[in-house]
Amino acid sequence: MRAVPPAGPDALQGARRRHRLQERGQWGNKLEFMMTVAGAIIGLGNVWRFPYLCYKNGGGAFFIPYVVFLFTCGIPLFLLETALGQFTSQGGITCWRSICPLFEGMGYASQLIVFYGAITYIIILAWSFFYLFSSFSPELPWASCGNYWNTAACVDFDKRSEMSNWTVPPNVEREVLLNISGGIEEPGSVRWELALCLLLSWTICYFCVWKGVRSTGKASYFTATFPYVMLVVLLVRGVTLPGALDGIVFYLYPNPSRLADPQVWMDAGTQIFYSYAICLGYLTSLGSYNKYNNDCYKDSFYLCLLNSGTSFVAGFAIFSVLGFMAREQGVDISQVAQSGPGLAFIAYPRAVAKMPVPQLWAVCFFIMIILLGIDSQVRLPLMTSVTDMFPTLIRRGYRRELLLLLLCSVCFLLGLLLVTQGGLYLLQLFDHYVCSGATLLFLSICQSICIGWVYGADRFYGNIENMIGYRPRALVKYCWLYLIPVICTGTFIFSLVRHTPLKFNKSYSYPGWAYALGWFLAVSSLSLIPLTMLYKVARAQGTLCQVGTSCCGQRGCSEQDAAHIGTCWDTLGQNGTQWVMLGHAGTQWDTLGHSGTRWAPLRKQRAARGDCDG
């Protein structure tokens, strides 16, 4: 029997390449991080939700509760999540495992909400592509009644002067809003043109994320900046229209008496959480690709101001056009002002139809909506969280790209339910119950308790100081400890007490089983927090004190070690040995020696420390 010759250097190098983990990656520069985060947090809510809430809740007076929530909840939570990701260099799930394993369920809950949002939010992109393609027709389809879907109830804009205080009939709105059915009980058929637009949307999102932080960072240079170009163009055009001043006054005229209404404060708080992408793992995952010494404190402050400033400016662009539309129709602005999809796909397109060269302004508007949607839809945080949970399994070869393809395909197939004739009813059900302010408020309470009281606000302040070289203002710490839990708890309870059954278009009432489905979807995410706590405690070994210590992350690192947590060292020794250290609680060593032997003392080290996972 012939002896097998020893493997040569080329064979050993090939084995090392096959077993080597791909790098987790970092932002190419600070601008990539700022652009990507700005694109993620500045979305459709800034354009179609904030201006409507402002006029609805007292005009300029609405800025008082908005600013209060901004500085007491928005900026502190924004900093908390960004700094947490930068400190641990982990995604939205494993970061909590590193800091406080008992609260790991917050990561699972937030990522499940992100998954729900991936299915539903992208439908807005599909509609936007559909309207964008329709804008290239010689006559805008929604500008007249000469279309095949119109009924006898349709009225041309040119005949508005013959009717006093004319408004759009509800059934015409339903025609314009993608020909929806009479209720959620009538799903109807899949609209193939919307399905193709949905496929296009997912294809774009896939290629924005497929190379991880590298492709996302490069794409953000265009997707995060071009919407501002479109916004400025629409703003300049809007303020030059007749009736624009009436719309702006309607948008900003203060009504201080509205401040006595608790609903105004509820809307202000909900808008902060809605538009800042708080508690969804976005900021944690995006911050995890920062360099360890990046000044995340100043970044958070500037990004929050940019977000709110964009919302404020967008109000001028929207209400100047609505003021023009109200004057053209001879009606009050309140009759044309809408929020959400009604603004993007009914009110604003119809106003654009009355401008000179309407196709140009329609294309500009829908390009802006598409780019805002793409930035918010890019699900890098979801992929980051899953990859960080199974790095040795996913970060090899093309496994990550294949996993992303599988995720996009599953979301596309599930999204087909939402492009049926009854899909809008299901979409609003998801938006109201799953991605609502109540779920985000509950997660905010849990986050502030975890960092402020369990892990320790002073301890986390020390971690931030190790990263940026100075301590943030003490007000932020007191917000984590006191203001956020109190304000969010009060707002959360108020939202439950004042809860009213969801209605579509202010007229259609959902059947009982639909409300039950909505509550089930909401509870399915939040229930992961207590369930994970019970699992961690049940798996832990030792006395009650030892269980509490290990599950609450009290065996932390020293001040010297803290400066290195989350930093990745790749050290190649003389013998070809490679060490990769990731995180603190989930420290992992992958060592490749002369013979290609891999060993991982992760579980032994964690068991010796008494961590919950054993």
Spatial distance between the Cα atoms of 49 and 438, rounded to a whole number of angstroms: 17
DSSP-derived letter for residue 503 is E
CA angle 144, 148, 154 (to 5 degrees): 45
Report residue 128 as tokens. Answer: 């936007």
Question: Scanning the structure block, which residue is given the tokens 């999102």?
Answer: 205
Spatial distance between the Cα atoms of 89 and 284, rounded to a whole number of angstroms: 9
Q: Which value, to the nearest 10 degrees, does the dihedral of the CA atoms of residues 213, 216, 220, 222 take? A: 140
Spatial distance between the Cα atoms of 461 and 483, rounded to a whole number of angstroms: 17
39 labeled part of a ligand binding site: yes
CA-to-CA separations, 389 to 278, 293, 551, in angstroms, rounded: 21, 24, 18
Q: Decide: 238 and 440 in contact? Cβ < 8 Å.
A: no
307: how many CB neighbours lie within 10 A of its CB?
25
With residue 18 as reference, give the H or E element that holds it: helix 9-19
Question: Scanning the structure block, which residue is given the tokens 């008992």?
Answer: 102
Question: Which of 182, 145, 148, 267 lies closest to 505 in space, CA to CA?
Answer: 182
DSSP-derived letter for residue 156 is -
307 labeled part of a ligand binding site: yes
Q: Decide: 289 and 25 in contact? Cβ < 8 Å.
A: yes
Question: Which of 413, 155, 384 lies closest to 286 in space, CA to CA?
Answer: 384
228: how many CB neighbours lie within 10 A of its CB?
16
Spatial distance between the Cα atoms of 444 and 364, rounded to a whole number of angstroms: 36
In order, the DSSP letters of 306-325 are HHHHHHHHHHHHHHHHHHHH
57: how many CB neighbours lie within 10 A of its CB?
23
320 labeled part of a ligand binding site: no
275 labeled part of a ligand binding site: yes
Question: Scanning the structure block, which residue is given the tokens 């995340």?
Answer: 296
Q: Which residues contact 479 (CB under 8 A, 6 or more apart)?
A: 72, 73, 76, 448
Q: Decide: 590 and 598 in contact? Cβ < 8 Å.
A: yes
Q: Decide: 418 and 426 in contact? Cβ < 8 Å.
A: yes
> Does residue 58 come out as left (phi exceeding 0), alpha (psi in the -120 to 50 range) or beta?
left
375 labeled part of a ligand binding site: yes
Q: What is the largest CA-CA distance in the chain?
A: 102
State the amino acid at position 286 in one-letter form: L
CB neighbour burial string for 573-600, b if at least 16 within 10 angstroms, e if fewer: eeeeebebbbbbbbbbebebeeeeeeee
SS (H, E, C) 25-56: CCCCCHHHHHHHHHHHHCCHHHHHCHHHHHHH
Please state the residue numbers annotated as binding site for Na(+): 39, 46, 275, 307, 372, 375-376
Please state the residue numbers annotated as binding site: 39, 46, 275, 307, 372, 375-376
